[in-house]
Amino acid sequence: MRRDATSRYGSFAILIACSWITMTFSHEIGHLIGGWCGGATLTGYSVSPWRLPFSLHNPDPNPMLTLWAGPVLGVTLPILAALLIRQSWCWFVADFCLLANGVYLALAWWAGDRFLDTPRMLAAGVAPISIITFCLATVALGYVRFRADCIHVLAIDAQEPSE
């Protein structure tokens, strides 16, 4: 049975929304877990999906752990969920998170805003090569996988001839 355009685009929009919420939540939860594991004191946070989430730690005795935990768990948690659930929609979300976390770190570096993760990572002493490596790996793999996911969701099923 062929899916009409409304169904395909509707599914795509829902998946993008779910992916954004999952990405922002898992990334910020990563910062919260990293801060907790590193002995940081949480002074404020928000994980609301309708605005950019944030977490503030002060003092933070191990800012590298707190900062790296965001993108690392932001990638790892959705991939682990996809491995457990084993559904194509879940891989769509996980692949979005993979791509988005790498793109975020790269764009945050380019933007240079002192409140974004990458400038804070550099200020905390994270080696630039480790950020570059993370960005290259996640963006390259994430792009290839997410592109294939998008094609799959938006494709017209070829089981029936087109009219």
Cβ–Cβ contacts within 10 Å for residue 19, how many? 22
Q: Confidence band (pLDDT; 50, 70, 90) for 4?
A: confident
Q: Give percent above pLDDT 70 in the chain.
A: 94
Does the pLDDT of residue 50 top 70, yes or no? Answer: yes
3-state SS assignment for residue 115:
coil
- Of 135, 123, 121, 116, which is closest to residue 53 (Cα–Cα)? 116
Considering the chain, what is the average pLDDT of its residues?
94
Which of the four pLDDT bands, split at 50, 70 and 90, describes residue 158? low
In this prediction, residue 156 carries a pLDDT of 81
pLDDT at 150 over 50: yes
6-26: average pLDDT: 96
Distance of CA 14 to the CA centre of its chain: 16
For residues 20-41, average pLDDT:
97
Whole-number pLDDT of residue 48: 87
pLDDT in tens, 79-124: 999 999 999 999 999 999 999 999 999 999 999 999 999 999 999 9
Q: The tokens of 59 are what?
A: 């003092």
Cα separation, 5 vs 103, whole angstroms: 29
Tokens representing residue 161 in the block: 């001839």
- pLDDT, position 159: 54
